[in-house]
Amino acid sequence: MISELSPSEAQGPDPAAEREARRAARASVAAKLAELETAPVVAAEPANADRDAQRERHRRRLLVAELQRAGAPLDAAEFVCAGDLEVTAAIDAVRGGFNVIAVLGGSVGAGKTIAAVDWLRDAVADPGRWFDGKWYWGDTRPMLFVSAPALARWPRYDAKEMARLLQASRLVIDDLGVEFADAGGSFQATLEEVIADRIANRRLTILSTNLDAPNFKARYGERIADRIRQSGRFVSVAGPSLRVRLASTSA
Ligand SMILES: Nc1ncnc2c1ncn2[C@@H]1O[C@H](COP(=O)(O)OP(=O)(O)O)[C@@H](O)[C@H]1O
Ligand SMILES: [Mg+2]
């Protein structure tokens, strides 16, 4: 089932063919989601209830697979697709909307990664509009989730790899502050380019960090902090770890 979801392996160096392959891959996911959502539901009969449950599981698997394809960690993808998220400060900040960039700052367990992956899920679940027998796409470019350590290893001189960061329809850079800060400032340069370019092209980005605002600014510099201030916001989602709290309430 998951193999049906993979983007066409026939991607050549031709960008038009790549775009078409991506469009086709997303179209097939969207069509399946639409089919699952519009299939007739007849309540009351146990057989149908069974089928509904099966359909719901199938829908979740599709969503999880899409999120994984974007780079989201499996555990977070499964958690957000299981439904019933609490409206944490992080979720509230993301769902409440932001200009083009938001930084979620808070300690480990504050729900930052979950909120960021939920933001991606929102775009997968509503990828376009069905009208007059066709899907109309808001944005067919793939979404991307990268951890800061993965970004630190990103091949900066590979134009195609850089394009994935710059052109993703939604980009999450998770866990800023844990990556190795190279003395040459290579990470800093990549981050600055990605942020500036995405803001200039009004592409939505969420950053998460374990640093508070002053330390974030100290580490990443005035220029990055300024851009974020002008085009988005830094949201402090600090609080007691949800991991600990949930563990203690369920005990
Ligand atoms: N919106 C939420 N509703 C319910 N539980 C949540 C929510 N967000 C996070 N959690 C719980 O807290 C844990 C840590 O969340 P996570 O997003 O990984 O924190 P952070 O990225 O800030 O360290 C999750 O594994 C989950 O158990
Ligand atoms: Mg996290």
> Domains, the chain, ranges and CATH?
2-250 (3.40.50.300)
Predicted confidence band of residue 181 (pLDDT cuts 50, 70, 90): confident
**Considering only CA atoms, which residue is closest to atom 25 of ligand 1?**
243
Residue with tokens 């697979």: 65
Of 130-139, 200-209, 212-221, minimum mean pLDDT range? 130-139
How far does residue 182's CA lie from ligand 2's centre (Å)? Answer: 22
Residue 3, classified by CB atoms within 10 Å of its CB into exposed (0-12), middle (13-18) or buried (19+), is exposed
Taking the C-alpha atoms of residue 120 and residue 173, their distance in angstroms, rounded to an integer, is: 12
pLDDT at 111: 96
Out of 79, 112, 114, mutate this one to test ligand 1's pocket (max ligand atoms within 8 Å of CB): namely 114
Evaluate: CB of 205 within 6 angstroms of ligand 1: no
Mode of pairing for the β-strands spanning 232-236 and 128-131: unpaired
List, in sequence order, every residue forming a beta bridge with 172; answer none if it has no partner: 145, 206
Evaluate: CB of 85 within 6 angstroms of ligand 1: yes
Residue 251 scores a pLDDT above 50: no
How far does residue 33's CA lie from ligand 2's centre (Å)? Answer: 28
Evaluate: CB of 82 within 6 angstroms of ligand 1: no
Q: What are the tokens at 124?
A: 């997968």
Decide if 123 contacts 169 (C-beta within 8 A). yes
How far does residue 72's CA lie from ligand 2's centre (Å)? Answer: 11
Out of 67, 74, 75, 79, mutate this one to test ligand 1's pocket (max ligand atoms within 8 Å of CB): namely 79
Residue 229 scores a pLDDT above 60: yes
Taking the C-alpha atoms of residue 166 and residue 209, their distance in angstroms, rounded to an integer, is: 20
Residue 8 scores a pLDDT above 80: no
Residue with tokens 């939920």: 118
pLDDT digits (tens, 9 = 90+) for 126-179: 656 666 666 666 677 889 999 999 999 999 999 999 999 999 999 999 999 999
Mean pLDDT of the chain: 85
How far does residue 70's CA lie from ligand 1's centre (Å)? Answer: 19
Nearest atom in ligand 1 to 85's CA: 3
Taking the C-alpha atoms of residue 74 and residue 113, their distance in angstroms, rounded to an integer, is: 12
Mean pLDDT of all residues in 235-249: 66
Residue 108 scores a pLDDT above 60: yes
Taking the C-alpha atoms of residue 42 and residue 177, their distance in angstroms, rounded to an integer, is: 51
Predicted confidence band of residue 9 (pLDDT cuts 50, 70, 90): very low
Rounded percentage of the chain residues whose pLDDT exceeds 70: 80
Residue 44 scores a pLDDT above 60: no
Q: Which residue has the higher pLDDT, 195 or 10?
A: 195
Looking at the CA of 112, which ligand is closest? Answer: 1
pLDDT at 155: 94
Mode of pairing for the β-strands spanning 128-131 and 134-137: antiparallel
Residue 5 scores a pLDDT above 50: no
Evaluate: CB of 112 within 6 angstroms of ligand 1: yes
pLDDT digits (tens, 9 = 90+) for 187-200: 999 999 999 999 99
**Considering only CA atoms, which residue is closest to atom 7 of ligand 1?**
111
